[in-house]
Structure 1
Amino acid sequence: MPVAPDDASTPGDPASPASTSVNDERAAKKSERKLNIVHPREWALWSQPRRIVSYHLGFETVALVVMIWACVTAPAPGSRDWFRFAALALCATLHIQLSRRQEERRRSKRTKPQVYVDLTGIWSFPGVLVLPIHLALLLIVVSRAQRWFVARRQPHRFVFAAFSMMLAATIAHEVVDLLGDRGWVSFGAMGSLGSFKEFAVMVVAGLIYGGLQALFIGVVLALADSQATVRTLLGSKEDNELEAVTIALGVVAAVLAVNLPAALVIMVAIGVIGNRIAEVRQLQVDVRTDPKTGLLNMRGWREVAEREMHRANRDDLPCALLMVDLDHFKSINDTWGHPAGDDVLEYVAHALRSATRPSDVIGRFGGEEFVLLLPDADATEAEAAGERIRQTISELHVPTTDKRGGPVAISNRTTSIGVAVYPAHAEALDSLLQAADAAVYEAKEGGRNQVRLAS
């Protein structure tokens, strides 16, 4: 953890020519610093729709009230609490500074607001478990203040992410206080035999801490994008796995902070390595993903499709391949410009996800073509899926801009879809692709806006 909406667009001077000179690099850094210290009156928040502005302001007001109430009603920290806070804050600082480059590279690859997992939860979650609420919140502030310099995020997004973490930490902290005392971390053979309740409390606290942040952030993303999918709102499987590991490491750090503070240095090393592993995993995902649509590119799609074909052959099951081609797509680029075409592709990608099953493998074939592999689907089911996709795309209403930046809406788009089924039409993936592609051409020659089964 934490989960936060990322906005990784790197600011720069649009009037400057592209260059790798030292002066240009200095100008870019200066522009980035200017963004980071922009006056609140100039925040991009105020240009957002009213529903988003209202949610931001309302949420942050409620969060502030809850945090103040929790701090006022909590007992004052003792000297032992301050020692634990200092140990966690020092280790968090070491982790953040040693992993700064990896974090910058990870964030720079994010091209739009989306779920982002920050490994500093290794240090903020222990505060929920072992520190008074005052110091738990202060620990988050210390970590977030250092992340500010590498966040590359609009200020209002950064502030909202910080408030979501602090409110989730406050609620999780109160639940821990409600469900049990904080003597759970003492070692001892006899004590460990009865530690199931304490472990259950930690699990509940972790679910609350991570789940609430996902909820708070998911609402923002849903308000900003009505076409957002569950994956967009809650993160990918890899994101959630990383979040779970971060909270688990936070539990270990909490135990060490109470019983063996010097060993927290080991957690620093683990955190730095974790950042590097997360960067490598992101690179692996990027290699297999189409940047415009978020779907699999052909390399990634082939890998998954080949496995599904192998499974179908092994278990003697059918599977179907659909080739989806947007009719007259070139006219969109010619009439409204390439950015409008990109928006249409993104909306079509959302439509394909919503009109298919979670098990279906969706990829961008290239240009305006998409390809889908439907496991365990025969010809009848595949044609029905194709018709559902055709209808869904025809109902899309895509808000975008024209060549001069003026608002336009693109709708009533038609689609030609070719369907080929294994093993009836082909027994190898490449042959199945060729059969579906031929069916697409038959659909276009037959008047477009239709689904054709391979002959």
Structure 2
Amino acid sequence: MTSPPRGRRHTASEATSRHVTERNQAPSPNRSRDPRRWDLWRRPKPMIAFLLAVETLALAGFVLAVAASALPSGQEWLRFAILAAGGTMHILLTSRQEARRRSRIDGVIIDLTAVWIFPAALLLPIPLILLLVLLLRTQRWLIARRPPHNFVFSSISIATAAALAHLAFAAIDRAELSADGAFWGLPGFGAIVLAGGVYEVVQLTLTGGVLALGAARLRSWSKVLGTLQDNMIEAVTIGLGAVTAILLVNVAPAVAIMALVTVVFNRLAELGQLQSDVRTDSKTGLFNMRGWTESAERVFRRSSRDTPGPALLMIDFDDFKWINDTYGHPAGDDVLRHVGGLLTEETRPGDIVGRFGGEEFLVLLPDIDVESAGQTAERIRNTVARAKIVTTNKRGGSATITGRTTSIGVAVYPQHADSLETLVQAADAAVYEAKEQGRDQVRYARRKYETPTDSR
């Protein structure tokens, strides 16, 4: 993982990511060769301590597990070879797709090689599990060339999860599964589900812990635990790994089919990310105007003149340029991200929050009357004013921005407008009036040629 440019704070997403703790830029060759100059040592001390403790305990556990293991059988070596070949084919065929997918993600990244590592956790002894993880992760690193300390931690996290999943699976009496270990019946299914849960929770705990400790401030749980889409991809990947294990036990040659399936799945994951990128603002994680407009139009089409709302809030920072001029543009980005998180917290799950552009945000509130919309706007205004935003100054030192204000325009259908487009225009006009009247206030849009009223 490369360090951020000078003058920027080390964010959680720059610290690590789930399953693969790698950032988009390649590290400096000189820094990669000299461990003393690794960017790891510039991270927060609690994060470094957690990372080193996990690695030390995991390596000690691996040594003990290998020492206590019997020599692998010929069948186990054959299964290892099949999984290694399938994983290698997967990595080679998807290397370009993975590079594109990772370059677009700032945060949690789901490693899709679990399709091969999870079946190893079910079927192979711990020494072969560790060898497979090392083989596949080394291939991934040779292609991606990420910083060594990131490669080591992500690899150890995956290996630890696989080893503990193996122990959980082995805790089930194998005689209950079937006479030949073919995973028949509910006991076998339950054992696989248990192992899959362990595999997921261990990785989530280890990488989530590093992310949380590496953040100066926890912006959102999705940055640590991943979004719903991330966790769905993870669940499907583990499920495909279970299918691979069943095929390997019953029809070993059919595992070749899984190599093709993983290529298709990798492509689908990339397309899903592309669709998300098209509709999402990269700085805040909120909807961009395209995504917001598509969602807002669906709400508007369902609206009726006989029911309240929807209402629209346009939120504009007061003197945002002062933040960029005083603290620098990275600090301005931190403020936007923080406010985006506040808007999500202060609105309902069904409300549609987006970034309008620059320092402006839009919030569409379905099924709400004028009075409640005004109360929501006041609550947002007060929350932003009380916010303490940890960031950096122009020299890269720590700084906290407080006391920033917003001007908010409120427009409600059908009192103030007859369409989504005119609703945005009405709220925008109300924002300008709030600015002209002294800023730091909420203004309602004009009602059919009437004088606007101040809600404060």
The aligned runs of 1:266-345 (5 Å cut-off) are 266-313=257-304, 316=307, 318-345=309-336
Instruction: Quote the offset at 1:359 in angstroms.
Output: 2.5
CA spacing shift, 1:420–1:176, aligned 2, 3 Å: same
CA drift at 1:390:
1.7
> Whole-Å Cα distance in 1 between the matches of residues 91 and 55 of structure 2?
25
The corresponding residue for 2:50 is 55
Residue 224 of structure 1 is aligned with which of 198, 203, 214? 214
Asked if the contact 2:22–2:151 (Cα under 8 Å) also holds between the matched residues in 1, the reply is no
Shift of 1:183: 7.6
1:397 pairs with 2:388: yes
Gaps of 5+ in 1: 13-30
Alignment-derived partner of residue 208 in structure 1: 198
Aligned 1:159-198 pairs, distance under 5 A: 159-181=152-174, 184=177, 195-198=185-188
Q: How many residues align?
A: 429
CA contact (8 A) 2:24 2:102 kept: no
Question: Which position in structure 1 is the counterpart of 2:60?
Answer: 65
Match in the other structure for 2:23: 8
Residue 407 of structure 1: CA displacement?
Answer: 4.1
| CA offset digits 1:283-310 (Å, max 9, x no partner) | 1111111122222110011111112222
Residue aligned with 1:116, SS: coil
- Change over 3 Å in CA distance of 1:83–1:315 after alignment to 2: farther
Shift of 1:58: 1.3
Q: Within 5 A, what are the aligned runs for 1:22-421? A: 31=28, 37-110=32-105, 112=106, 114-151=107-144, 153-181=146-174, 184=177, 195-225=185-215, 226-313=217-304, 316=307, 318-421=309-412
The secondary structure found in structure 1 opposite 2:40 is helix
Change (3 A) 1:185 1:230: farther
1:5 positional shift: 5.3
Shift of 1:144: 0.7
Q: Quote how far apart the aligned CAs of 1:6 are.
A: 4.4
Distance 1:77 1:316, change over 3 A: farther
Matched to 1:344, the amino acid is V
The aligned counterpart of 1:24 is none
Does the C-alpha gap of structure 1 residues 167 and 324 become closer, same or farther in structure 2, counting only changes over 3 Å? same
Q: Where does residue 432 of structure 2 map in the other structure?
A: 441
TM-score normalised by L of structure 1? 0.87
Unaligned runs of 5+ in 2: 1-16, 447-456
Cα distance change of structure 1 residues 397 and 77 upon mapping to structure 2, 3 Å threshold: same
Q: Is the contact made by 1:227 and 1:350 (CA closer than 8 Å) also made in structure 2?
A: no
- C-alpha distance in 1, partners of 2:137/2:373? 49
Residues 117, 317 of structure 1: alpha-carbon distance in 2 compared, 3 angstrom cutoff? farther
> Residue 15 of structure 1 corresponds to which residue in structure 2?
none
Instruction: Answer whether contact 2:219 2:338 (CA < 8 A) is retained.
Output: no
8 Å contact kept, 1:443–1:452: yes
CA contact (8 A) 2:21 2:154 kept: no
The 8 Å contact of residues 8 and 152 in structure 1, kept in 2 or not, is answered as: no
Root mean square deviation, CA, Å = 2.5
Q: Report the Cα offset of residue 175 of structure 1.
A: 0.9
